[in-house]
């Protein structure tokens, strides 16, 4: 029987992505082949502008490839309607954006609860699960603070708690440790490892930080819209 680590959660096949900008075509992704397995931490590294965020957006169904396929849990994500994509994204995928995407009027706990609400989790489960996720990122004492009362690093940790609260199959994170100091970044990667190992979810994150690559199961290096090593 295949172990959970061998099951691809997401496959990217022959993917190309181009944008039109100032009347010319810009080819950002030039034939990407990769996969992200359940129970593994996958990292995407590469210089600024190499196409990491564009690829992450396609993986999460936030955008569609110009060519090629994105297969999420054996389903052709790239062919789906926006409506169907939205439902699956809310329930089955977690996102951690560079901009945190926290709502300013809600407390840390309420921000985490919001992703449970969006995922259709019964209300009775919100408080306990949200508190557990804040505990996981070391923010129990800040649960009732609003984003403006938190440091950049603390806001980033709330965003991580929010991304994992609804137990997604796939967590996509764009530079999730960018605002954190070295110790806290290492701690967050420890949390990610715990999540992949204990909950069997797949995480794919981008990072420039070479000190973190050793914690990944797989590291893909991107150069100018291509993956050059694995
Ligand atoms: N909507 C768009 N229209 C035109 N060009 C775009 C668009 N989105 C991205 N690009 C271009 O694609 C290239 C790759 O961008 P992307 O954000 O994917 O890189 P990145 O590797 O994530 O960079 P960073 O590490 O700085 O976030 C850049 O040159 C960017 O200007």
The alpha carbon of 132 and the centre of ligand 1 are apart by a number of angstroms equal to 35
Task: Give the pLDDT score at 208.
Answer: 87
Report the C-alpha gap between 101 and 173 in whole angstroms. 12
Q: Which atom of ligand 1 is nearest to the CA of 222?
A: 21
Residue range 188-202, pLDDT digits in tens: 899 899 889 988 889
**The pTM is what?**
0.89
Residues 41-97: pLDDT tens digits?
A: 999 999 999 999 999 999 999 999 999 999 999 999 888 999 999 989 889 999 987
Average the pLDDT over 111-138 and give the result: 93
- pLDDT top residue among 56 and 229: 56
Residues 6+ apart with CB under 8 A from 20: 26
Query: Given ligand 1 and candidates 26, 97, 223, which is best to mutate, with the most ligand atoms within 8 Å of its CB?
Result: 26
Please give the pLDDT value at position 8.
86
CB 63 within 8 A of CB 89: no
Name the residue among 58, 146, 153, 163 with its Cα closest to residue 110.
146
Task: For the sheet with 93-96, list strands across it.
Answer: 93-96, 170-174, 202-206, 41-46, 218-223, 226-229
Q: The CATH number of 4-20+28-229 is which of 3.40.50.1950, 3.40.50.2300, 3.40.50.300, 3.90.650.10? A: 3.40.50.300
**Distance in Å, CA 224 to ligand 1 centroid:** 10
């Amino acid at each position: 029987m295949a172990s959970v680590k061998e099951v691809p959660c997401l496959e990217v096949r022959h993917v190309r992505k181009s944008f039109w900008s100032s009347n010319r075509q810009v080819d950002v992704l030039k034939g990407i082949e990769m996969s992200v397995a359940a129970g593994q931490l996958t990292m995407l590294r590469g210089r600024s502008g190499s196409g990491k965020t564009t690829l992450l957006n396609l993986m999460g169904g936030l955008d569609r490839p110009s060519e090629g396929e994105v297969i999420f849990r054996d389903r052709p994500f790239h062919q789906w309607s926006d409506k169907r994509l939205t439902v699956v994204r809310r329930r089955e995928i977690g996102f951690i954006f560079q901009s945190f995407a926290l709502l300013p009027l809600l407390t840390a706990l309420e921000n985490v609860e919001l992703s449970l609400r969006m995922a259709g989790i019964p209300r009775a489960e919100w408080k306990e699960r949200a508190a557990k996720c804040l505990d996981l990122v070391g923010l129990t004492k800040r649960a009732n603070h609003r984003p403006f009362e938190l440091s950049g690093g603390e806001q980033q940790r709330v965003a991580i708690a929010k991304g994992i609260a609804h137990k997604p199959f796939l967590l996509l994170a764009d530079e999730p440790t960018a605002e954190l100091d070295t110790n806290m970044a290492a701690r967050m990667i420890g949390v990610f490892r715990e999540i992949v190992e204990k909950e069997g979810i797949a995480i794919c994150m981008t990072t420039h930080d070479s000190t973190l690559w050793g914690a990944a199961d797989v590291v893909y290096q991107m150069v100018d819209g291509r993956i050059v090593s694995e």
